[in-house]
Structure 1
Amino acid sequence: MALLLRLVLLCGVADFTRSLRVTTPEQTIEKAKGETAHLPCKFTLGSEDHGPLDIEWLLSPADNQQVDQVIILYSGDKIYEDYYKDLKGRVHFTSSDLKSGDASINVTNLQLSDIGTYQCKVKKAPGVESKKIQLTVLVKPSGTRCYVDGLEEIGNDFKLKCEPKEGSLPLRYEWQRVSESQKLPTSWLAEMNSPIISVKNASTEYSGVYSCTVKNRVGSDQCTLRLNVVPPSNRAGTIAGAVIGTLLALVLIGLIVFCCRKKRREEKYEKEVHHDIREDVPPPKSRTSTARSYIGSNHSSLGSMSPSNMEGYSKTQYNQVPSEDFERAPQSPTLPPAKVAAPNLSRMGAVPVMIPAQSKDGSIV
């Protein structure tokens, strides 16, 4: 009985050794952004694997909310590479003969979105086997900037800073003094592997050129700065100049605003005057006609009066006429009264009239 059991186990082991197997172990690969990642997948076929060969690569994104995506497929002796739009044109089989046992792929121009778990699945009925590879895409340090935060003056406290624009964590920093053979000041040694070095009570001995190197697992970057510690500057003059400049700027802005507002008011007034509709006002009555009628009426009244009363009446009436109206009225030249002799009057048919005389007190004589 024991012998029979051993024979069954040996047959099972023999069958297992002859079945399909993926020989590449599971592993983790780290690559920098923009580089090419080679994902290996080697397999062997068993003698009983007679079905068609199918090779399938799947991606399980780092975001667990997304489902697995087929990124490339080999089936029916054809290759299909357009399954996953984020990797379209960037994923390819490395071997031209996949039946030889090499199902490895290359992913070019790596992006952070390519991070995830890649699974190589090989099928050849009745055998099926798969392996997983963890791909991590890191960003190399780049765009590193070194600068001094503070005034580089004797006795001051300031900071030396080293900041990369991008780079995957963890990052390592290393400061060096490159201008002279002197090493970093003793007080700086504790911070030579940090992005910031705090300088206390600066002196001219600190002047020089310094470099900062930033590293991570996929690359490094470097920057330099020149430190020049100088005597304190005249801060009072600088502050006064800044204040005067600010006041002048405010005055200039005020003048500009005043001129603009004045111009707007003038334009507004011109528009109102231009569009104002005025009613026609009748012309004033002529005073000349009034004066003439006034004088004419007086002449008519004078004509009915006796000669004795005419002189006083005419003076009184003509004195009542407004000087302005009288001046404007056209005046005809006055002629002296003509003297006619009594015989001539009788020939002309005049009738003599007796005019009673008056005394000084007004009584009739």
Structure 2
Amino acid sequence: MEGMLASLALLCLLLTVANAVTVTIPKPNYEVAKGDNITIPCSFSAVDQTKLILMQWTVRSDGTGAEENDFIYYPDGSSDIPQTFTGRVTVNADIPNGKFNLNLFSVAMTDQGTYKCHLLVKSDTSKSAANTYVLVLVAPSIPQCNLQGKAEYGQNINLTCLSTEGSPAPTYTWQSLDVQNNPRPMDPKTTSNAGILSLYNISKDTSGYYICTSANKIRSAKCNFTLSVMPQILRIMRIMTKTWLKMVMVVGMRRYALHKTPTLRVPLIARMMSTRTKVSVAMTAAATTTTAAATTTTAAATTTTAAATTTTAAGTTTTAAGTTTTAAGTTTTDVATTLIAVTNTVTAKSATMTTVGMMMTDATMTAGMVVRMITLRWALL
């Protein structure tokens, strides 16, 4: 009797095992890029459709902890999809061929987690199920290429390349092209680390195009930077331009302040009038001094001329006295001629100095007119 019971128990066990449904998922892990679509396959052994109660996918997301979402399919063809996944999840059931695939569209980071495929069959106590893990990867975002430093002769600069998104973290590579778009090797002194390209002692030969590629196992993205190394002369011109612009801004601000605040005009005009008076007095004094010097020189020239005339007369008288005296007179006449030449030179210098005095007087008048015009202009603002 006991032997018959043991045999019956073994038979029941064999029947149970024979009726058990085997569920499998081909891979323990799946990787998908954020925003892409994925199909997770699930297959099961032959099952009596009349005993099939339901087929189900259960998702435990890493972002939601213990919370689970179930995607249920019933033998009559109906399904139950959570509202939060409506439009993003579908299930394909092919019972005769033992297929129950899950389709997930526009994958988000919250979709990362553990996915379980299982079937519920009458008389099946094995709770047949299979698990897999879905890892959501993020493709690198389009990197940004920027310059650190000044692109001027002899300087050291950095070109930076950074993608704000990317999982796993992207790696960066740089490529250099000359101004004719021809590939060229990097300078041996150039270093590259974590997207930073360091260039040392740059010159016109450093100018060109630099391309950065940000890549991970999903895909890659690129950015480029055009580097133009500025010659020293252009640097000086740029500094001069900035200085000139600052001066223009200061003058403009002062004019605006005077225009908006009429009370500021009176002190300013007074200062300008005072400055005009000082300039006029100084230039008039200089002109007066020059004129006086010219007058003194003229007087000296007159005295010298008189002396020359007297000497000439003496020379004439001496000539009448005799041959010896005539020679002396001739000599004296030469001296007189020399004195007359000196007189003419001094007279010319006197005329020149007088002209200078007149020119400085004219300059004084002109300066006074300019100051008056400026004063009138500011008074009319």
Q: In structure 2, what is the equivalent of residue 120 of structure 1?
A: 117
Q: In structure 2, what is the equivalent of residue 267 of structure 1?
A: none
Secondary structure of 2:51's match? coil
Q: In structure 2, what is the equivalent of residue 285 of structure 1?
A: none
Letter of the structure 2 residue corresponding to residue 58 of structure 1:
T
Q: In structure 1, what is the equivalent of residue 72 of structure 2?
A: 73
1:208: how far off? 1.7
Secondary structure of 1:16's match? helix
- After superposition, the Cα gap between the structure-2 partners of 1:23 and 1:157, relative to the gap in structure 1 and judged at 3 Å, is same
Secondary structure of 1:113's match? helix
1:120: how far off? 1.4
Letter of the structure 1 residue corresponding to residue 90 of structure 2:
H
Distance 1:69 1:160 in 2: 47
| C-alpha distance after superposition, 1:152-206 (max 9, x if no partner) | 1111121111122533232111111233342011122x41x63111222212221
Q: In structure 2, what is the equivalent of residue 207 of structure 1?
A: 207
Letter of the structure 2 residue corresponding to residue 141 of structure 1:
P
Distance 2:216 2:36 in 1: 15
Distance 1:141 1:26 in 2: 26
For the aligned residue pairs, the C-alpha RMSD in angstroms reads: 3.2
Q: What pairs up with 1:128-277 in 2 under 5 angstroms? A: 128-178=127-177, 179-188=181-190, 190-191=191-192, 194-232=194-232, 233-234=235-236, 236-248=239-251, 250-251=253-254, 254=257
Distance 1:159 1:52 in 2: 66
- Tell me which structure has the larger Cα radius of gyration: 1
| C-alpha distance after superposition, 1:132-151 (max 9, x if no partner) | 22112222123222232222
Distance 1:156 1:239 in 2: 21
Structure 1 unpaired stretches of 5+: 260-365
Distance 1:257 1:53 in 2: 88
More helix by share: 2
> Does the 8 A contact of 2:166 with 2:216 survive in 1?
yes
Letter of the structure 2 residue corresponding to residue 237 of structure 1:
M
Distance 2:96 2:261 in 1: 87
> Does the 8 A contact of 2:24 with 2:129 survive in 1?
no
> Does the 8 A contact of 2:42 with 2:99 survive in 1?
yes
Distance 2:259 2:92 in 1: 72
> Does the 8 A contact of 1:81 with 1:89 survive in 2?
no
> Does the 8 A contact of 2:42 with 2:101 survive in 1?
yes
Distance 1:252 1:94 in 2: 79
> Does the 8 A contact of 2:46 with 2:96 survive in 1?
no
- After superposition, the Cα gap between the structure-2 partners of 1:43 and 1:175, relative to the gap in structure 1 and judged at 3 Å, is same
- After superposition, the Cα gap between the structure-2 partners of 1:41 and 1:153, relative to the gap in structure 1 and judged at 3 Å, is same
Secondary structure of 2:222's match? strand
> Does the 8 A contact of 1:53 with 1:99 survive in 2?
no
> Does the 8 A contact of 2:158 with 2:197 survive in 1?
yes
> Does the 8 A contact of 1:26 with 1:131 survive in 2?
no
Distance 2:189 2:239 in 1: 32
Q: In structure 2, what is the equivalent of residue 43 of structure 1?
A: 44
Q: TM-score when scaled to structure 1?
A: 0.60
1:27: how far off? 1.5
> Does the 8 A contact of 2:141 with 2:165 survive in 1?
yes
Distance 2:7 2:153 in 1: 89
User: How many aligned residue pairs are there?
Assistant: 252
Distance 2:259 2:56 in 1: 74
1:7: how far off? 11
Distance 1:168 1:129 in 2: 34
Out of 69, 78, 97, the residue aligned to residue 100 of structure 1 is 97
1:66: how far off? 5.1
- After superposition, the Cα gap between the structure-2 partners of 1:245 and 1:167, relative to the gap in structure 1 and judged at 3 Å, is farther
Out of 72, 80, 90, the residue aligned to residue 88 of structure 2 is 90
> Does the 8 A contact of 1:146 with 1:225 survive in 2?
yes
1:76: how far off? 4.4
Q: TM-score when scaled to structure 2?
A: 0.58
- After superposition, the Cα gap between the structure-2 partners of 1:129 and 1:183, relative to the gap in structure 1 and judged at 3 Å, is same
> Does the 8 A contact of 1:54 with 1:122 survive in 2?
yes
Distance 1:170 1:17 in 2: 49
| C-alpha distance after superposition, 1:77-133 (max 9, x if no partner) | 133243141x211111234x3453111111011122222222212111222312222
- After superposition, the Cα gap between the structure-2 partners of 1:197 and 1:135, relative to the gap in structure 1 and judged at 3 Å, is same
